[in-house]
Chains A and B, each alone.
Chain A
Amino acid sequence: MTDLFTAEKIAFFVFAVPLVASAIGVVVARSPMYAAMSLVAAFFFMAGVYVLLSAHLIAVLQILVYAGAVMVLFLFVIMLLSLGDERPELERLKQMQWLGFVLGGGGLMALLAWISREVAGAQMATVGPDFGTVKAVGRVLFTQYLLPFEATSLLLTVAIVGAVVVAKERI
């Protein structure tokens, strides 16, 4: 029973419970602004879970890129468009939406059941202190994943040019 309440497991729940709560907040929020704020909170808690997985570099990137850059972009657009709250009668009209809701929920339940059955008792590998650091991940990125890494820079360039072309009224 003492095994159930080690510091790491308590830390997991400290991050996981608010993470799920703020993720639900994204979906139930009426105003897009509240949804965006919930998502920022969810990203912060997610970074905490990443640290528990010894993914230090990815946790920092999560804060910098997601909670920083991407969410600021979202907030800019929300404020630029000055959208009102969603009207509930327009929001949930289609039967297809409820069908999708049921199918999505059913698929999720099947996935949860499968995970509880198949992955139970899987042990974590013991890793050294440099697992997931900038050095370790950088070495993999620049050796084994060099081509995808370079392709990512090309992708980001294409995305910048594409965003400008699409969003600008007149070039």
Chain B
Amino acid sequence: MSTVPLQWYLLLAAILFGIGLVGVLIKRNALVVMMCVELMLNAANLTFLAFSRQQGNVGGHAIAFFVIAVAAAEAAVGLAIVIAIYRTRGSVNVDEARELREEG
């Protein structure tokens, strides 16, 4: 077999997901956090496509299509929320936007 094994794609997807997860955890800029979420969504897409290729079933491509559509919708609404937060507080730091948090 000369093709790239499934394992390599899964490892690549896991590494990308890990990078995105670390970014979500350590970055405080809401925009960069959203970019890292996009990275994690891409890693999930890669997993879908890799298994789809392994099974020879094109259904995974349809799922990846929906993931892309949902990610676009998420980016639009998320960025609108970021703009609204910036307008009211002049900052996009996710630690400062916790008005709804319980006191204490």
Contact = CB atoms under 8 A, between A and B. Distances in A.
Contacts of A66: 38, 42, 68, 71
Interface residues of A, number: 89
Interface SS majority for chain B:
helix
B31 A77 contact: yes
Interface in B84-98: 84, 86-87, 92-93, 95
Given A83-B92, A90-B28, A137-B62, A124 B54 contact: yes
Interface in B53-100: 53-56, 58-59, 61-62, 64-66, 68-77, 79-84, 86-87, 92-93, 95
Interface string A103-144: 011011001100110011111111100011000110011001
Interface in B17-53: 17-23, 25-29, 31-32, 34-36, 38-39, 42, 45-46, 49-50, 52-53
Interface SS majority for chain A:
helix
A169 B28 CA distance: 25
B7 A122 contact: yes
Contacts of B75: 70, 73-74
Nearest to B2: A6
A42 B53 CA distance: 21
Nearest to B35: A39
A162 B17 CA distance: 28
5 nearest CB pairs, A to B: A125-B56, A159-B73, A108-B18, A167-B80, A163-B80
Given A3-B1, A160-B76, 7 more contacts: A23-B16, A36-B35, A53-B49, A70-B72, A77-B79, A90-B93, A112-B11
